[in-house]
Amino acid sequence: MKKTALITGAGRGIGFAIAEKLAAEDFNIAVMDVHEESVVSDALKQLERAGAKVLYCRADVSSAADRAKTIEAVKEKFGRLNVLVNNAGVAPKVRADILEATEESYERVMKINLQGPYFLTQAAANWMIEQKKADSAFSGCIINIASMSSSVASTGRGEYCISKAGMSMMTQLFAVRLGEFDIPVYEIRPGIIKTDMTAVVTGKYDKLIFEDHILLQSRWGLPEDIAKAAAMMARGDIAYSTGQIITIDGGFTVPRL
């Protein structure tokens, strides 16, 4: 029986690249995203062409009701959940210095980037535990898409950095709690990846990539770079590992003189 992956924010960008890769790896795919289905219909069709049965859940990860609705929809459609990928995330609507940033922006970013994934993981983990108790051969994992901003300070978007640092601790917490059930929890930290989120600061990042910081190949990271790492985790290639971080940033964060 095919395994099932639930991926948040998979209508485009990194989330879609992960969904497409897992579809090619013989997973069925549940996509959780906020867009009208018509907006993501082409992406869903691509996943189907890759061989997956696809479920689209139009839902907001920051909403408790939407999270519960999504888990129930996956149960009804597939009857199982093997992989949760917490990918959905937002940057502040306005990049404001931390001396001027608003509580409204902080609350929005934290609810979407941290609170929502935390409680979605709670729900998914409890279901995975049930599946493991019912079938000792069950295999599952949780993959958190954090950011190099977990450890690299950016004072123009402090709320984003804090949300991703919180996700890094979330990875550790769930890795510890789920260890007894052999359910690994992983974290991927992307660097500068070419997506809609980074399009608004292309000039700034071009300079960082091509003049200053990137060690490998002097290019932007691509969503496919993240998808390959997620597929390795989802397949179980590193099953004797949990709570670990894979940083995919072209060497940006390597300390050096």
Q: How far is CA 177 from the centre of its chain?
A: 20
- Sorted by sequence, the CB contacts under 8 Å of residue 153 that are 6+ apart come out as 161
- Sorted by sequence, the CB contacts under 8 Å of residue 164 that are 6+ apart come out as 89, 113, 146, 147, 149, 150
CB 46 within 8 A of CB 21: no
CB 171 within 8 A of CB 164: no
CB 4 within 8 A of CB 81: yes
With b meaning 16 or more CB within 10 Å and e meaning fewer, what string describes 186-221?
Answer: bbbbbbbbbbeebeeeeeebeeebeeebbeeeeebb
Q: Tokens at residue 181, please?
A: 């059930």
56 a catalytic residue? no
Q: Tokens at residue 128, please?
A: 């995975």
Alpha carbon distance 249, 47 (integer Å): 26
The terminus-to-terminus CA distance of the chain in angstroms comes to 52
132 a catalytic residue? no
Catalytic one of 3, 21, 132, 164: 164
Catalytic one of 160, 186, 194, 205: 160
CB 228 within 8 A of CB 18: no
Helix, strand, or coil (residue 207): helix
Q: Tokens at residue 126, please?
A: 């409890």
> Which positions are catalytic?
160, 164
